[in-house]
């Protein structure tokens, strides 16, 4: 430790009647400097955590043809947008690990907010995604703060390699495109990924032969419960998640929606894979339009740096009007942390006067 000397001569302890005038002012300033310097030394030596910076840049160019127009859109990928984070952890002598995650999403022109008639920028989408601390050990993991709800990601289990453009929650990327003037496709197809990120307390059990359970209590009297599995099955890898969640109360007399669902993905050793997802939203109160259900199926093939998939999505809102999607996606991974993709998609809805939406897009995500 470096020694910091305040002044060049020994300190003389003054008598009470000497504690006034210019010399007293100088003494007080010296004491302040000494306290600040001492605090800096202590902070340096006591610091146990080292923060690690990571993140990603996600961009996409979309050529749409919908009820709003056919303007070329330069957007941030809605499903996995541009973001950066600081993380850190430290394990104590008793085996407990303390950690934190602070993450901000900074999307410019989010894909889900665009359509064929968007002429200008939709603006920045700043989101404090994580302000989370956690404690883990043999007992499991406790998380406290803003972060993933206990069931977040439960409809996104996907081993296809093409999820960036074709994950089951298709509305993240394509929901804003219009099937009729002023009528977005997301009004007819919605797969709910539980409650996403929440201000909550969450507990995860240890992993038991690939199985784990997570439970969380969130702001607004909402809650989540999820069962997950990931492991080797036969000549391949299997993952699935099942969840139930209660959304935050709408008012003192109207409870939040009940949401259930899950997803499963299997990747065979040959590279062939299949992914399915589903969710059901049962809203409380008289607004039946809040009820929504949807299913998603994807078949794909992975080989080396390449991945291909075809997906089908089908949904229905509480008014009994359906919406569907068909897409083909190719993804290429030329370097660690780098992904390129191209996708074509058709969106449809059963509403009177609605038209098909045709989408062609290319994009890339680079992780750092």
The answer on 132 and 27 residing in a single domain is: no
> Quick one: 216 and 167 in the same domain?
yes
User: HEC states along 91-158?
Assistant: ECCCCCEEEEEEEEEEEECEHHHCCCCCCCCCCEEEEEEEEEEEEEECCEEEEEEEEECCCCCCCCCC
Same domain, 335 and 202: yes
Both tokens assigned to 338: 């780098």
Clarify whether residues 79 and 191 are in a common domain.
yes
CA pair distance 278, 264, nearest whole angstrom: 9
pLDDT at 50: 87
CATH number of the domain where residue 360 is located: 2.40.160.10
Same domain, 304 and 195: yes
* Angstrom distance (rounded) from CA 127 to CA 130: 9
pLDDT tens for 229-238 read 999 999 999 9
Do 209 and 298 fall within a single domain? yes
User: Of all residues in the chain, what percent carry a pLDDT higher than 70?
Assistant: 86
Count structural domains, the chain.
2
* pLDDT for residue 47: 59
- With a cut of 70, which residues of the chain have pLDDT below it? 1-47, 285-289
Can you give the pLDDT at residue 288?
63
Q: How far is CA 35 from CA 11, 21, 42, 94, 342, in A?
A: 15, 22, 10, 33, 59
Both 150 and 181 in a single domain? Answer: yes
Q: What is the mean pLDDT of the chain?
A: 89
First vs last Cα of the chain: how many Å apart? 34
Asked whether residue 39 falls in the same domain as residue 164, the answer is no
Res 3: pLDDT = 42
DSSP category for residue 368? -
Q: Which residues partner with 136 through β-bridges?
A: 97, 141
**What pLDDT is stored for residue 53 in this prediction?**
97
Residues 247 and 198 in one domain: yes
Q: Are residues 10 and 133 in the same domain?
A: no
Range of the domain at 7: 1-45
The answer to whether residues 96 and 17 belong to one domain is no
* Burial zone of 127 (CB within 10 Å; 0-12 exposed, 13-18 middle, 19+ buried): middle
List pLDDT tens digits, range 265-291: 999 999 999 999 999 999 886 656 679
Residue 126 has what pLDDT? 86
Q: pLDDT, tens digit, for every residue of 332-363? A: 999 999 999 999 999 999 999 999 999 999 99
Instruction: State the pLDDT at residue 249.
Output: 87
Distance CA 1, CA 101 (A): 30
**Both 30 and 134 in a single domain?**
no
């Amino acid at each position: 430790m470096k020694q910091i000397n305040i002044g060049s001569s020994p300190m003389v302890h003054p008598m009470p009647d000497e504690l006034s005038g210019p010399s007293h002012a100088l003494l007080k300033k010296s004491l302040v400097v000494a306290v600040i310097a001492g605090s800096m030394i202590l902070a340096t030596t006591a610091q146990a955590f080292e923060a690690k910076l990571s993140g990603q840049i996600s961009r996409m160019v979309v050529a749409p043809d919908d009820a709003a127009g056919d303007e070329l859109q330069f957007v941030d990928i809605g499903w996995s947008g541009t973001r950066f984070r600081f993380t850190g952890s430290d394990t104590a002598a008793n085996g407990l690990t303390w950690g934190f995650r602070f993450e901000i999403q900074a999307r410019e022109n989010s894909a889900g907010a665009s359509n064929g008639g968007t002429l200008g920028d939709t603006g920045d989408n700043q989101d404090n995604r994580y302000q989370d601390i956690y404690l883990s050990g043999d007992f499991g993991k406790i998380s406290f703060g803003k972060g993933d709800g206990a069931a977040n990601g439960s409809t996104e289990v996907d081993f296809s390699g093409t999820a960036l453009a074709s994950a089951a929650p298709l509305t993240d990327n394509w929901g804003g495109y219009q099937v009729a003037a002023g009528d977005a496709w997301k009004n007819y197809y919605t797969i709910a990924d539980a409650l996403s990120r929440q201000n909550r307390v969450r507990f995860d059990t240890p992993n038991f032969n690939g199985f784990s359970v997570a439970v969380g209590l969130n702001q607004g009297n909402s809650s989540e419960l999820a069962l997950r599995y990931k492991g080797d099955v036969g000549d391949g890898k299997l993952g699935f998640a099942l969840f139930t969640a209660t959304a935050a109360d709408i008012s003192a007399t109207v409870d939040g929606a009940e949401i259930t669902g899950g997803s499963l993905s299997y990747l065979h050793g040959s590279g062939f894979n299949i992914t399915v997802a589903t969710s059901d939203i049962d809203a409380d109160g008289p607004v039946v339009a809040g009820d929504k259900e949807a299913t998603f199926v994807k078949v794909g093939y992975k080989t080396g740096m390449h991945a291909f998939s075809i997906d089908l999505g089908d949904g229905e809102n509480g008014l009994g009007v359906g919406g569907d999607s068909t897409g083909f996606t190719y993804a290429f991974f030329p370097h660690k942390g780098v992904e390129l993709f191209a996708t074509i998609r058709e969106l449809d809805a059963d509403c009177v006067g609605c038209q098909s939406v045709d989408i062609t897009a290319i994009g890339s995500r680079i992780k750092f």
